[in-house]
Amino acid sequence: MKIGVIGAGYVGLTTSAVLADLGHQVTCVDFNEGKIAMLLNGEIPIYEEGLAELVVSNTKAGRLLFSTDTVSGIENHPVILIAVGTPPLANGSTDLTFIKNIVERIAAHAHSHKTIITKSTVPPGTNEWICQVLTEKGLDPGSFDVVSNPEFLKEGTAVHDSFHPHRIVIGAKRREASLLVRSLYQKIKAPVIETNLTGAELIKYASNAFLATKISFINEIARICDAFGADIKDIQRGLSEDPRIGKYFLQAGLGYGGSCFPKDLSSLVSAASEKGREPSLLLAVRNINETQADFYLEKLESSLKDLKGKQITVWGAAFKPGTDDLRSSQSVRLIEKLIDHGSSIHVYDPVAKLNRADVTSHKDMYDSVKNSDALVLATEWDEFRSPDWNRVKKLMRGTLFLDCRNFVDPGIVRSYGLIYQGVARQ
């Protein structure tokens, strides 16, 4: 099938490469000229395991093209997949500017039947609204279909997740449109859930809200365990053995970040409030996450007495390992709090680039700890699991190690003469 994908970000680029690999003819369009120039040059603008290989092989096979020409992307493809950003506004609701822009362009340049697939995460009611706008702008309702087909990939494992999704959700008004989208993914083995447009939008929001709830739940339990001197890792193990609870998304720590959970939770809160429904659980989930960094800050403060003038090294800046994405990173939230308290910050991340005037970024993890009073592990990259602790201890001025992700063995760290600290760790 001929597909025009609008947006070459984490979702658009991955989806383009995967659809091309499944045998479709894909043109990935982005108005960011720099991004498209890189892609045309065989370079990948984001860090995502396996994506470069997939892009290169499908480009060579002639199934994957890149362009900045949105109009041709619309005119030349019967299937248009929207994967533009839907960032948060200051009040927590969703900024639909990029979606509106593309819908207007579709209205102006759709000269034959179009199946418009919304992959971007959008608030309930948005796809119905797209149908309405297209009709108001003069498109015959029979000349287009709008399908909500939300994306569930995780950054860091985006390619794998796209080939092996837990489910494919398709929201449509007409059976034919739903079947067409099903056929795009014919080669992928996954349960298909068919619903209407708003149902699909809400499955996406409910999924992210539930996962965020699990994380805030375990972080609240960690706060309680910390007060009683219990180890959260034991509680996690005990919970996970019950299949009704499950073992995923119960890693206590600094809390959730990224471009999705914080934004989508706020968007759902906003959508619910607009309809007069008080989302009290979601508000609590968000509140726990927003205050989680304070617990780690207090741990540092209680050990170092005064954070002012202290040199603190932070390992990990990305919102999670496996990505260069810094959006809503909890590590950055903690760094900003430390700066506010007068600490000087040194950062090392194997991939993410934190370019800020008030932070010293290092290319080498050992250089980053030289003369530091404390070392903070904020993102659990593999290379932080068992560094040369001897070297770390010798290079540091102080002895404090704060593990914000419960990632390393406290006994090992202590055996090198360092002080191990965490929330609810023994």
Ligand X SMILES: O=c1ccn([C@@H]2O[C@H](COP(=O)(O)OP(=O)(O)O[C@H]3O[C@H](CO)[C@@H](O)[C@H](O)[C@H]3O)[C@@H](O)[C@H]2O)c(=O)[nH]1
Q: Is 105 helix (H, G, I), strand (E, B) or coil?
A: helix
Site for ligand NAD in 37-96 (CB under 6 A): 70, 83-86
336 annotated ligand-binding residue: no
Tell whether residue 151 is a contact of ligand X (CB under 6 A). Answer: yes
Binding part of the chain for ligand X, among 105-113, 149-157, 187-195, 414-422 by CB under 6 A, reads: 149-157
Binding part of the chain for ligand NAD, among 6-14, 51-59, 168-176, 297-305 by CB under 6 A, reads: 6-14
User: What is the rounded CA–CA span in Å between residue 23 and residue 40?
Assistant: 20
Per annotation, catalytic residue among 28, 225, 260, 404: 260
Site for ligand X in 245-264 (CB under 6 A): 249-251, 253, 255-258, 260-261, 264
Q: Which does 215 bind (CB under 5 to 8 A by kind): ligand X, ligand NAD, none?
A: ligand X
Tell whether residue 349 is a contact of ligand X (CB under 6 A). Answer: no
Binding part of the chain for ligand NAD, among 7-15, 135-143, 343-351, 358-366 by CB under 6 A, reads: 7-15
Site for ligand NAD in 170-209 (CB under 6 A): none
Is 215 exposed, middle or buried (CB count within 10 Å of its CB: 0-12, 13-18, 19+)?
buried
- Comparison of 85 and 199: residue with beta carbon closer to ligand X: 85
- Comparison of 104 and 234: residue with beta carbon closer to ligand NAD: 104
As measured in angstroms, the least distance from the Cβ of 322 to ligand NAD is 11
Q: Which does 208 bind (CB under 5 to 8 A by kind): ligand X, ligand NAD, none?
A: ligand X
Which residues 6+ apart lie within 8 Å of 211 measured at CB? 249, 261
DSSP sequence for 176-230: HHHHHHHHHTTTS---EEEE-HHHHHHHHHHHHHHHHHHHHHHHHHHHHHHHHT-
Are 327 and 344 spatial neighbours (Cβ–Cβ below 8 Å)? no
* Number of chain residues interacting with ligand NAD (CB under 6 A): 27
- For residue 200, the tally of other CB atoms under 10 A from its CB is 23
Q: Is 94 helix (H, G, I), strand (E, B) or coil?
A: strand
126 annotated ligand-binding residue: no
Q: For the window 116-145, what string marks contact with ligand NAD as x by the rule CB under 6 A?
A: ----xx------------------------
- Comparison of 151 and 373: residue with beta carbon closer to ligand NAD: 151
250 annotated ligand-binding residue: yes
User: What is the rounded CA–CA span in Å between residue 168 and residue 304?
Assistant: 50
Judging by DSSP bridges, how do beta strands 144-148 and 168-172 pair with one another?
antiparallel
Question: What is the b/e burial string over 337-357, where b = at least 16 CB atoms within 10 angstroms of the residue's CB?
Answer: bbbebebbbbbbbbbbebeee
Tokens of 67: 């362009």
86 annotated ligand-binding residue: yes
Tell whether residue 392 is a contact of ligand NAD (CB under 6 A). Answer: no
What distance, in Å, lies between the first and last C-alpha atoms of the chain? 56
Q: Which of 186, 117, 105, 122 is nearest to 145 (CA)?
A: 117
Which residue type sits at 357? A
The answer to whether residue 260 is catalytic is yes
As measured in angstroms, the least distance from the Cβ of 226 to ligand NAD is 31
Binding part of the chain for ligand NAD, among 2-10, 125-133, 241-249, 277-285 by CB under 6 A, reads: 2-10
Which residues 6+ apart lie within 8 Å of 307 measured at CB? 297, 300, 301, 338, 341, 342, 343
User: What is the rounded CA–CA span in Å between residue 194 and residue 413?
Assistant: 51
User: What is the rounded CA–CA span in Å between residue 115 and residue 81?
Assistant: 8
Active site residues: 260
Residues contributing to the site for ligand NAD (CB under 6 A): 6-12, 29-32, 35, 70, 83-86, 98, 101-102, 120-121, 151, 153, 155, 259-260
Residues contributing to the site for ligand X (CB under 6 A): 121, 151-155, 208, 211, 215, 249-251, 253, 255-258, 260-261, 264, 319-320
Residue set of the binding site for NAD(+): 30, 35, 86, 121, 155, 263, 327
Residue set of the binding site: 30, 35, 86, 121, 152-155, 204, 249-253, 257, 263, 320, 327
